[in-house]
Structures are given as structure tokens and as C-alpha cells.
């Protein structure tokens, strides 16, 4: 099970538990690119600490893939524009020889 999904289930089951609140603040900080006190992770038990590290790892990987898909979209748009520009360009005149 992916860590992000596991964290969501844990937070839904125990929203008032301090460890759930810490994981929730971590996710909010990652999404908003805001600050998060790294020392808060040390208050987590071993299992939740590992989960937090897995969230960080998955989040970083997901961002990489999101950036990759955005690059693909821009590249595809450019290819379409290039194709349209080639279609609209007049054909070169035949060489006289």
C-alpha cells in the first residue's frame, strides 16, 4: 500500500491523535510548499516516523512525474504548433535549371 494512502486511512481513523495531526501538517506543508518543523517528526513512534519518510519519498517521486508530464504536455503543444506552421507555409518554388 502506498504511504500516502496509508497515511490518509490513519488520519481518517484517528484525526485527534497527535501523530495523525503531525502527519496531516506534514502533508499540508508539502502540498503548499510551506514550512514544517522537522523536529516534529521525532515525536512520532517508529512506525509513523517510517511512514512520514515514505510520504516524503513518494511525494518527491510524484512531483518528478508531475513535472515530467508537464514537460510532455508542453512538448506536445510545440509539436502541434510546429505541424500547423509547416502546413501553413507556402511550398517552395521549383528550382529552375
Query: Is residue 80 in some structural domain?
Result: no
The position carrying cell 521525532 is: 42
Q: Which residue has the higher pLDDT, 26 or 95?
A: 26
Residue 92 lies in a domain: no
Indicate the average pLDDT of the chain: 86
In a domain, 52, yes or no: yes
Is 69 among the domain residues?
no
- Full domain range(s) for residue 22: 3-63
Q: Is residue 68 part of a domain?
A: no
> Which pLDDT value is given to residue 86?
74
The per-residue b/e assignment along 3-28, b for 16 or more CB within 10 angstroms, e otherwise, is bbeebeebbeeeeeeebbebbeebbe
H-type alpha helices, 14-95: 18-32, 46-88
**Is 78 a domain residue?**
no
Q: What is the percent of the chain where pLDDT is above 70?
A: 87
Please tell me what DSSP assigns to residue 33.
Answer: T
Whether residue 26 lies inside any domain: the answer is yes
**What does the pLDDT look like over 10-45, one tens digit per residue?**
999 999 999 999 999 999 999 888 999 999 999 999
The domain total for the chain is: 1
Q: Please, are residues 58 and 83 in contact by the beta-carbon 8 Å criterion? A: no
Amino acid at each position: 500500500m502506498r504511504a500516502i494512502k496509508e497515511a490518509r486511512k490513519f488520519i481518517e481513523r484517528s484525526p485527534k491523535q497527535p501523530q495523525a495531526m503531525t502527519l496531516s501538517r506534514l502533508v499540508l506543508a508539502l502540498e503548499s510548499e510551506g514550512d514544517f518543523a522537522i523536529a516534529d517528526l521525532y515525536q512520532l513512534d517508529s512506525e509513523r516516523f517510517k511512514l512520514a519518510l515514505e510520504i516524503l519519498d513518494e511525494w518527491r517521486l510524484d512531483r518528478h512525474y508531475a513535472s515530467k508530464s508537464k514537460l510532455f504536455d508542453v512538448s506536445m503543444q510545440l509539436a502541434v504548433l510546429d505541424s500547423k506552421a509547416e502546413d501553413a507555409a507556402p511550398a517552395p518554388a521549383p528550382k529552375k535549371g
